[in-house]
Amino acid sequence: MDTRCILLFVFILVLLFILNNNNNNNKETFINVKIPNSILKYFFQKEFLMMVGESKITYLKYKNNSLDAISYNKSTINKFLKNTKNTKKYRYQIKQIFNNNKLANYILEYGYNPIVKFLGLNEKTTKPGYIRLSKNNWSFDYHYDCLDLILVQLIGTRTIYTKKTKKSKITKHILKPGNTLFIPMGVYHKVITKNGLNLNFNIILENTNVNKIRKCTLNFSKDYKKQNEKCQKNNCI
């Protein structure tokens, strides 16, 4: 093999390595990307509540540190903020799909659509997940999802702890308004909020790895039996 063939072979190997590395890391670029104020201005707390405070929602009630809700309660955002309080015994959050109601439509128009465009995502391979709204001292213990997600923080500060497996090293992420975080399929994550109103939503990214999805789904059905039953009717996020 002459020198030119060797150099060409080395060049091809390097090129393949770079392409593979880019493919593996492209989603990682969504860790702590800052959403511009031209979008965030629609989510200043006072203005946001003025626009959607009377939206009809369903909030979930949890006991102790359980991942499974014990009740689903119809209300409005304003009444939820007024009548619920997170304690060591009970926790509350609004968990809203992007259906055709005032809250979902507002976030879809002023949050999801412009942010998907800003991040340069392909609209055909992304879709909206859940909207979550909570108050002081909200927490949700370690769990994982069988989806690739980008979490977008809109109001308040949210601390997320991630680890690849139950025994892996823990990484701490502090998300402030406008921050995003990519959470890969199967990665354990824990959520804590401290003060005031807290609002975020997630973007679901298409994953074509059938074997990975199948394995994650099988594990999920064993690890989270109650949640898995609900997933037959709802999104498992």
When pLDDT is averaged across residues 144-148 and rounded to a whole number, the result is: 90
Supply the Cα-derived Rg of the chain in whole angstroms. Answer: 20
Place of tokens 């099988």: 218
> Given this model, what pLDDT does residue 134 score?
95
Q: What is the mean pLDDT of the chain?
A: 84
Asked whether residue 13 is domain-assigned, the answer is no
Asked whether residue 208 is domain-assigned, the answer is yes
pTM across the whole model? 0.82
Residues 93/138, Cβ–Cβ less than 8 Å = yes
Segment (H or E) for 7: helix 3-25
> Given this model, what pLDDT does residue 24 score?
41
Given a cut of 80, is residue 2 above it in pLDDT?
no
Could you read off the pLDDT of 147-189 as tens digits, one per residue? 999 999 999 999 999 998 888 899 999 999 999 999 999 999 9
Domain of residue 90, CATH code = 2.60.120.10
The number of distinct structural domains making up the chain is 1
Which residues on neighbouring strands pair with residue 76, listed in sequence order?
56
Which is more confidently placed, 89 or 233? 89
Measured in degrees and rounded to the nearest 5, phi and psi for residue 117 equal -65, -45
Could you read off the pLDDT of 47-99 as tens digits, one per residue? 999 999 999 999 999 998 888 889 999 999 999 999 999 999 999 999 988 98
140-143 long-range Cβ contacts below 8 angstroms, 24+ apart: 140/67, 140/93, 140/190, 140/191, 141/65, 141/67, 141/190, 142/166, 142/188, 142/189, 142/190, 143/67, 143/188, 143/189, 143/190, 143/224
Structural domain boundaries, residue 134: 29-231
Of 138-147, 149-158, 226-235, the range with the lowest mean pLDDT is: 226-235
Asked whether residue 163 is domain-assigned, the answer is yes
